[in-house]
Amino acid sequence: MIKHLIFDLYGTLIHTDNEILGVDRRAFWQHGERTWMREDVPEEDRFLAFAKQHGISCEELIERFSELEKSAHMVSGMLNVLRELKKRGYNLHILSNAGRSTKQFVLRQPAFLIFDTLTCSYEIGAIKPEPEAFKAVLKRIQAEPHECIMIGDSLEADIAGARRAGMKAVHFEAEKDHPEELFERIKVAE
């Protein structure tokens, strides 16, 4: 029986300015700077090291990420769907490949109080699709894989990663799908 729904954050629960998100995330991923999602590195040190390595302005990079945060907002209609899922008895969780600033941002948003737990990769030292990321969440919520469904927009990080960890998975892209579609997709996955 499914007891826990584990959601990805960006692209699943949150919309952001795609241009900002795309440029900056790609830059970090392409240049191997995934440590910011895996380690608790102070944001200033992370940006300074990346900017220095790539000959760009640290201030500009910080400003771009600040704009990313300012543009972030919960997908329209998602909160109502989450409330209904909660009424139906599911425990709701977030697992995000993210650093400290993302967690601080989420904790400032009243809409996210509906979630039972929020786990960011920097806290656990692993990023999706690594099995350790999913195992860390399972341990934290004291659940078995067969009791969980991972819901996310990335076919590799969220869907394939969860399945390799023994969980069921539901693909949901905030840009294309409507939140109410989750009811049927969860039912099918169960």
Residue 26 belongs to what H/E stretch? helix 18-30
Reference 151, options 68, 81, 55; nearest CA is: 81
Q: What is the pLDDT of residue 23?
A: 44
Sign of CA dihedral 151, 32, 45, 24: negative
Count other C-beta atoms under 10 Å from residue 94's C-beta.
24
Residues of the chain with CATH 3.40.50.1000: 4-15+73-189
**pLDDT at res. 109:** 86
Q: Which two tokens stand for residue 24?
A: 């900056």
CATH number of the structural domain 4-15+73-189? 3.40.50.1000
Strands 14-15 and 73-74: antiparallel
Which pLDDT belongs to residue 102? 79
What pTM was estimated for this model as a whole?
0.82
Of residues 163, 165, 113, the one with CA closest to residue 139: 165
Q: Which pLDDT belongs to residue 103?
A: 84
Residue 103 in tokens: 């967690």
Give the pLDDT score at 63.
Answer: 67
For residue 19, the model assigns a pLDDT of: 43
| Per-10-residue mean pLDDT, the chain, length 190 | 96 70 48 55 65 72 64 87 98 91 83 95 91 97 98 96 98 95 97
Q: What are phi and psi of 74, to 5 degrees?
A: -65, 145
3-state secondary structure of 122: helix
